[in-house]
Amino acid sequence: MNTPKELWNRGGFDRAWMSWAMSMCIMLGLWFLTGIPHELGHSVICWYSGGEVYLPWIFTKFITLCDPFPEHIKEISWAMGGTFGVIASISPLLIFKFLRKHNFILNGFLGCGFMQLGYAIFESQKNELYKVNDLEALMPIALMGTFSIIFFTLYIEKIRKYLKSSDQLEK
């Protein structure tokens, strides 16, 4: 039986599978953490439009309650949550260079960013389905994050090589 370190060092499919699994764990961990800025994004629009913001803790997450709800800018309010989530997912990659060093960490952060982008699109365009909050309604959002991790797991090395060659051409 091979140890995880031996599988990782062997490379190929074994490394890709382990990288994907670790990226998924990072994405799911970030999903909980980026929920706070996500709800703050909704809260900013509520506060800006003169509403009163309540952030109750329900089960395992915050929920934004706005009184009165800004009906005249509801699509912006719904999209702003995902926008703040994308910023919260991607900004650590821009600030901390060590997060970009390992592909599985980079892929986890990017996967969470794409998942929050899915929230921004789905909440603002299909809000009635989103309010149902069941597995069918949330599946497109989870799939955006999962498919982006699969894509980046397969192509991150090629993207890095392309970016390095582009830097060389500019010099």
- Is 50 within the bounds of a domain? no
Residue 77 lies in a domain: no
Say if CB 109 and CB 136 are below 8 A apart. no
Residue 76 lies in a domain: no
Indicate whether 136 belongs to any domain: yes
Task: Determine the Cα–Cα distance for residues 85 and 18; give it in Å rounded to an integer.
Answer: 26
The whole-number average pLDDT for the span 7-12 is: 65
| 148 pLDDT more than 80 | yes
DSSP secondary structure of 76-139: HHHHHHHHHHHHHHHHHHHH-GGGGTSHHHHHHHHHHHHHHHHHHHHHHHSHHHHHH-SHHHHH
Residue 161 lies in a domain: yes
The answer on pLDDT for 151 being more than 70 is yes
Tell me: cis bond preceding 68? Omega within 30 of 0 counts. yes
In a domain? residue 31: yes
Q: What domain range includes position 104?
A: 18-38+83-165
Q: Is 34 exposed, middle or buried (0-12, 13-18, 19+ CB in 10 A)?
A: buried
Instruction: Tally the domains of the chain.
Output: 1
Q: Where residue 135 falls among pLDDT bands split at 50, 70, 90?
A: low
Mean pLDDT of the chain: 81
CA distance 88 to 110: 11
User: Among 21-25, 37-41, 93-97, 129-133, which stretch is predicted with the lowest mean pLDDT?
Assistant: 129-133
- Band of pLDDT at residue 167, cut at 50, 70 and 90: low
Is the pLDDT reported for residue 60 higher than 70?
Answer: no
Domain membership of residue 139 (yes or no) is: yes
Instruction: List 62's β-bridge partners, or say none.
Output: 57
Q: Are the beta carbons of 112 and 88 closer than 8 angstroms?
A: no
Residue 12 pLDDT greater than 70, yes or no: no
Instruction: Tell me whether residue 151 is in a domain.
Output: yes
Residue 112: name the closest of 149, 74, 163, 156 by CA. Answer: 149
- pTM assigned to the model: 0.78
Res. 87: pLDDT tops 90: yes
